[in-house]
Amino acid sequence: MLLNTVILCINQCLPIALLWVLMLQCVRNSKLPLLHALSAIGIGVIGCIAYLQAAGVISQWFDYRGFEVSQIFLLVLLYANLLLITLKPRIIWQQTALALSVITYLSHFLTYLNSFMSADALQSLLVGTILGLGICFSFSTLLYFLLASTQSTRSTYWLMLLFALHAASKISVASDLSTQIDLLASTPSVVDLRWFLDEHSVFGRVFKVLLGYEASPSWLNLTTYIGGAGAFYLVWLARGRKREVAI
């Protein structure tokens, strides 16, 4: 149980931490004070608890597919909010993105903790959570300083491409959920890269969280991922050129 808790904590908490780092380093003029970020995370935790309290009712919607539909809605809303940040990096949009990310990802981890919460398992859950959070903090710190060391005029385009790929991963996951509940038709896999990098390996999990890596993506998954990243990046480029013309 200890190992499962560590892995699940990393899977669900690392996306939140990485989103915070990417907003700070990839988006120009993006400044999110620590107090504002922590308050957004606190609001997200409260919203997550309320979301789980209503999960029983939500799950009955849309022919008992309501919980999955709500997850799709949150992911799409998060993608749209990240796009707003690139256009106008206001603190309120960054706080909203963090809160949405907490509600989307932390809900799975809290469900896991609530399911296995008992006197015998309490120590394993607590130690596993602390270890998982420590790993998330360490990796996020390393990524923060790595991206900070690459800051230059020319690196802006590459950093924004990284942010666009991360944002597109939300749309990609939403498309996978849609096929699982038959909202969209499933499509065959394009390629199988598990021989090269399994998404369940250590590096595979990191690339999945950071870039939305899939070892065996379907046509729908690949199309939504490329389309989401391309649209995101093109909107940002168009916005940048518009500013240059205005100047």
Find all residues with CB under 8 Å of 47, minimum gap 6, and list them. Answer: 99, 102, 103
Q: Which residues of the chain have pLDDT under 50?
A: 244-247
At 33 the pLDDT is: 79
At 82 the pLDDT is: 92
Task: For residue 179, give its domain range.
Answer: 2-246
At 247 the pLDDT is: 37
**Dihedral sign of CA atoms 65, 71, 75, 77 in order:** positive
At 31 the pLDDT is: 74
At 244 the pLDDT is: 41
At 19 the pLDDT is: 93
How many domains are there within the chain? 1
Answer whether 180's CB lies under 8 Å from 188's CB: no
Give the pTM. 0.90
**Dihedral sign of CA atoms 154, 158, 159, 160 in order:** positive
Find all residues with CB under 8 Å of 94, minimum gap 6, and list them. Answer: 23, 30, 32, 36, 37, 40, 85
Which of these, 45, 72, 76, lies nearest to 232 by C-alpha position? 76
